[in-house]
Amino acid sequence: FIVVLFPIIVALVLNSTAGGRPSFAGHNVTTAFLRTAAARGISGACVFLALFVTCHQIVLHLRNYHRPNEQRHIVRILFIVPIYGLASWLSLLSYNGYIYFDTIRDCYEAFVIYNFLSLCFEYLGGDRKILLAINGLPVKGNCWTGTCLFSSMKYSNGFLRFCKQATLQFCF
């Protein structure tokens, strides 16, 4: 991984002023390597290794499906690895079809973000338990956590609904 990436990074840093295109000995570094059989082989091997490991994890979750409310979201999140890996690898193999692969990948990525939020809510006991625990507490304003604009608010059902709606709006 480092052997492959290091020359590309060095070329990008050293030749960043060469017309905006990284070049090494007069060749476009990024596209020159990406079009080789070695790049396709290395990326394909990494994708299939990730597919194997992730599918193993998914099978283990499905075999031991004891907490379906949580594991449903975990399996959906785990499926991002094969989808992301295959889409990236197929985009590398077929440059003309990358827009279709990237569209599928981006749609599933939004679905995974929503499932991550749902999994967090599930870990905390669901909407009702979260609301009972935080209802009426003031929101601590902090710019680091992104709540500086909410410092005058108190946690409520509306605030929790706003968080869900904002996530859904971002995703879809």
Write out the chain's pLDDT in tens, 172 residues. Answer: 444 555 555 555 544 444 555 444 455 555 667 777 888 888 888 899 999 999 999 999 999 999 999 999 999 999 999 999 999 888 888 878 888 888 889 889 989 999 999 999 999 898 889 888 888 888 787 788 777 777 777 888 888 888 888 888 887 7
Measuring CA to CA, which residue among 4, 1, 7 is closest to residue 46? 1
Q: Which amino acid is at 123?
A: Y
Any residues with CB less than 8 A from the CB of 135 and at least 6 apart, and which?
155, 156, 157
Instruction: Provide the pLDDT for residue 133.
Output: 87
Does this model's pTM top 0.95? My answer is no
Place of tokens 């002023």: 17
Distance CA 161, CA 134 (A): 13
Whole-Å CA distances, 2 to 6, 10, 25, 83: 6, 12, 21, 24
